[in-house]
Amino acid sequence: MLRAIRRYIKERTGPQPDSKHLDRPIDEVHYLVFDTALTGLKLKKDSIVSIGAVKMAGGKIEIGNTYYRLVAPRTDLTGQSVIIHGITPSEVSKEPDIDTLLPEFLGFCGNSIIVGHFISIDLGFINKEMMQLYGSPMKNQAVGTFILYQWIKQNEEEPCAYHESGQEDISLSALADKYGISVSSAHNALDDAYVTAQIFQRFISVLPGLGVRNLKDLLRIGKPLKSK
C-alpha cells in the first residue's frame, strides 16, 4: 500500500520545468494558488487545519476549479487559532487527517506552479508532512506574492500610489486593500487563496512591462524564502 502511494505521489507531483516550459510566457502558465489554516506558526509544534486552493490559467482565475478540505490536526487547536480562522475542534474532530488528504491535494496540484502569499510558511507545513510520510518534499516550483510585490516595488521606475514609503504592512489583507480586492473577515483558506489569486492576477499584468516575461524570470524573482 505504501509503495502504491509513493508511486502516486511521484506521478502526480510536478517535475522541475524543462527549458521549453521555462520559456513559456507567464500568462500561458498553469498555476495553483493555495493557502492553509494552521493551529499556529511554529513549524515543529503546530499543524494544518485546512487547505484551500484555486487554479489559474495564466492570468485567468478558474472560479469553479477549487479545492477545500478541513483537516483533523495533529496538534490541539488553541483559542487564538480558533479566533483567527474560525474552525472549532468539533468541526475537525471527524475530518480526515493529513495522511489521507495529502495524495488528494497533490493530485489537484498536478504539475502547476504553486503560488501563495507567505508561501514559505504554507509550504513549510506541507513539506513537513511530505517528508514524514513520503521522505521527500513537493517537487512543484513555487513563487510568493509577497516576494513578487517587494520586487515590483523596488523595480518600478515611478513607484505607484499603492507603494508608500516607510514601514509598510505587507499582509494579505493589506495588499488586497491596496488593490481594491474585498476580503472576508474570517481567514478561510479558500477565501484567502482567492484573494491571493486576484493579487497575483494584477502582478501578471504588470510584470512583463518590468522585464519579467517568461516562467524562468518569474521563478527567479519570486522564489520563496526557506522556512525555518
Residue 76 placed within a domain: yes
Please list the residues that pair with 77 across neighbouring strands: none
* Mean pLDDT of the residues in the chain: 87
**Cβ(176)–Cβ(145) below 8 Å:** no
Is the pLDDT at 20 greater than 70, yes or no? no
Residue 93 placed within a domain: yes
pLDDT digits (tens, 9 = 90+) for 81-125: 887 788 888 889 899 999 999 999 999 999 999 999 999 999 999
The enclosing domain of 108 has a CATH number of: 3.30.420.10
Residue 227 placed within a domain: no
Three-class DSSP category at 63:
strand
pLDDT digits (tens, 9 = 90+) for 194-228: 999 999 999 999 999 999 999 999 999 999 876 55
Q: Residue 203 belongs to what domain range? A: 2-222
Residue 40: phi, psi to the nearest 5?
A: 175, 180
The C-alpha atoms of residue 176 and residue 81 are separated, in whole angstroms, by: 22
pTM (two decimals): 0.87
Categorize the per-residue pLDDT at 159 as very low, low, confident or very high, splitting at 50, 70 and 90: low
Total domains in the chain come to 1
Residue 82 placed within a domain: yes
Categorize the per-residue pLDDT at 19 as very low, low, confident or very high, splitting at 50, 70 and 90: low
Residue 187 placed within a domain: yes
Residue 228 placed within a domain: no
The C-alpha atoms of residue 160 and residue 162 are separated, in whole angstroms, by: 5
Inter-helix orientation angle 119-134/2-12, to 10°: 140
